[in-house]
Amino acid sequence: MPVRFPDLPGSDGSAGPGAGGLPAALALGGLAAWFTVTVLSQHPSREFDRVAERDRTGVAVPNWRFFAPEPAQHDYHVLYRTEAAGGGTSGWLEASAISDRRPSQMLWFPGRRREKGLFDVCSELITVMKRYGADLTGAPAYRMLRNSVARVVETAAGDGTPPLGFQFVVARHTGHDTGHPPDYVFASPYIRYDPADPYP
């Protein structure tokens, strides 16, 4: 009578690990193909995106290019100036601020969403400007920036005399690398400010 080893697969007469047959082979082949497509889809060259583009859900073939196609190497700053009701123009003030980084922000940093939103809107504005030319007043990215600056102007005016209008610029800066001057990539036209409708 053969000795049985109950801790070993197949010792009780059942099928061993290699006896799954065709379904197991198909499952392993499918997993291998999915793994191969996923790895190739992370390649920097967009030639490998053809298979991933067939995934309409965007879930089956994940995209792990965290910094695709290139990591961001700069920040965007939005500056504005106002025209006073009594005449004269203010100096350039910052409508957006990049907060200094602290270790605690690795755990809790809700302000990062605002900074990331500003970066995305400015990037979209620059992309639209390169593609369609100088007239951006109808672009959603322009309207979002204009309304955001108008809100800052409204808050700064408070209960005092509101300005007649304002203008804003988008500056691109390398952040902590102070060896490079800021690059002013967009300047808005003059925007008339109406306290009754501060968001034109």
Please give, one letter per residue, the 3-state secondary structure of 123-138.
HHHHHHHHHHCCCCCC
Question: Residue 132 to residues 102, 121, 126: CA-CA distances in angstroms?
Answer: 40, 16, 10
Q: What is the pLDDT of residues 24-72, one digit of tens each?
A: 889 999 899 888 888 877 776 667 667 667 776 666 777 666 555 555 6
pLDDT in tens, the chain (200 residues): 555 545 555 555 555 555 567 888 899 998 998 888 888 777 766 676 676 677 766 667 776 665 555 556 678 889 999 999 888 899 999 887 666 666 776 776 566 677 777 888 888 888 888 777 767 778 889 999 999 999 999 988 888 888 999 999 999 877 666 677 888 889 999 999 988 888 77
Question: Residue 181 to residues 115, 144, 171, 175, 176: CA-CA distances in angstroms?
Answer: 21, 26, 10, 10, 11
Place of tokens 């605690």: 104
pLDDT at 200: 74
pLDDT at 130: 79
pLDDT at 115: 72
- Three-state DSSP class for residue 187: strand
Global confidence as pTM: 0.59
- Asked whether 82 and 163 are in contact (CB, 8 A), the reply is yes
